[in-house]
Amino acid sequence: MESGANGDSIEKLQGLQITPLDDDDEEEREMVAYEYEDDDEDDGEDEEEQKPVTLGFLEKPKNRWSLLRHLFPSKAGGPPAWLDPINLPTGRSCLCDMCGEPLQFVLQVYAPIIEKESTFHRTLFLFMCPSMACLRRDQHEQWKRPPEKASRSVKVFRCQLPRSNPYYSSEPPKCNGTDKPSGPGVSLCNWCGTWKGDKVCSSCRRAHYCQQKHQVTHWRSGHKVECQQLNLSSPSSDSNLADAGTTSVASNSLWPEYEMINEDESEYDTEMSEVNGQTNALVSKTGVDDTMKSLLDSFEGDSDRRSWATFQEHLAKAPEQVLRYCRSAGAKALWPTSSGQLSKADIPKCSYCGGPRCFEFQVQFHLP
């Protein structure tokens, strides 16, 4: 979807109804190097000084190799470029907790914390169920007090590695097409290219799958013929390892692949000042039309109007932004309305150390 269309924005805003039911609770899961986490937002006073925010924009990659895992990309769509190529999430953590189907990759953000040895490399991976019914159910589940294990259709995995690790050189990549990983990664599913392919075609022994359903789908969509051709070619290999970027993805349901380019939001403040020049309008650059004003008036309370105006102001600076990232202490999400926002009490403590969780990034609704 392209940003900037008021009609699309209105439709999405009208569908954004955050209706709190009960208290929220969340549980963190750890899958070897990958940890499933939900970094919720903190509430607070609107008068706090503004934190530096990094914006993410999507572009078609100039070179396909620039999105391979050993170049530590930030990207959206396509298959994930797993930071740890061996120890991937497995089991039910890869599935939507609502329908049981495999989650689909949305985007990943390379966000190292170089002050710590253990987080010299650090990537956050966002997955979601493509079913809108599951997403709506998840939205309501977040406002209920869940059972021992919360059910989610949107999950974030975090992976981090020290500078000295088995997979990558301790020196920065040259980024000229000659870089190679230190070793192969685990074979991925030949259908989705996303999850660990620990199941193998019993005939050709070449195709790997994350689950039986993907194996059946691949067989019906063309692997039946391909399998016979592979059996007539060179001897098969039972190896469960694959070189970076070599997995052939058969599914055409993956979202389009883009490279994520980062820029500081502060760079757009000067541009907005020049554009707004002689006006005092809060969101003058967007040219809010009568329909949008009518929708704005439908929100109850001045706080909702202020939140919506602030939301629009930040989007007006860079309408094509798809990511807002900030690790500063006290950083908060940019909410379109004040009603339904999470409070500190709504955000569960870290299940590992017991400390408070903090906001790190949010994804804007107009991904391509």
Q: What is the pLDDT of residues 285-331, one digit of tens each?
A: 444 556 655 655 665 557 888 888 889 888 898 999 999 999 998 89
Residue 235 CB neighbours (<10 A): 6
Positive/negative CA dihedral, 338, 124, 12, 16: negative
Q: 177-192 pLDDT, tens per residue?
A: 888 887 889 999 999 9
Distances (CA, A) of 3 to 7, 14, 51, 319, 334: 10, 16, 25, 6, 17
What is the band of 147 on the pLDDT scale with cuts at 50, 70, 90?
A: low
Mean pLDDT of 34-49: 48
Q: Which of 292, 277, 258 is nearest to 4 (CA)?
A: 292
Mean pLDDT of 189-206: 92
Residue 24 has pLDDT above 50, yes or no: no
Identify any residues that bridge with 75 across adjacent strands, giving them in sequence order: 108, 259
- Sorted by sequence, the CB contacts under 8 Å of residue 229 that are 6+ apart come out as none
pTM of the model: 0.79
Higher confidence at residue 61 or residue 144? 61
Q: Average per-residue pLDDT in the chain?
A: 80
Higher confidence at residue 36 or residue 105? 105
**pLDDT at residue 344 in the model:** 80
Residue 12 has pLDDT above 70, yes or no: no
312 three-state secondary structure: helix
Q: How many angstroms separate the CA atoms of 107 and 47, rounded?
A: 32
Higher confidence at residue 300 or residue 365? 365
**pLDDT at residue 286 in the model:** 46
Q: How many angstroms separate the CA atoms of 181 and 167, rounded?
A: 6
Burial 104-118 (b: 16+ CB within 10 A, else e): bbbbbbbbeeeeeee
What is the band of 231 on the pLDDT scale with cuts at 50, 70, 90?
A: confident
Going by their DSSP bridges, the two strands 241-242 and 258-264 should be labelled as unpaired
Question: Do the Cβ atoms of 168 and 121 come closer than 8 Å?
Answer: yes
Higher confidence at residue 11 or residue 320? 320
Residue 103 has pLDDT above 50, yes or no: yes
Residue 122 has pLDDT above 50, yes or no: yes
The residue type found at 91 is G
Lowest mean pLDDT among 72-76, 96-100, 191-195, 309-313: 309-313
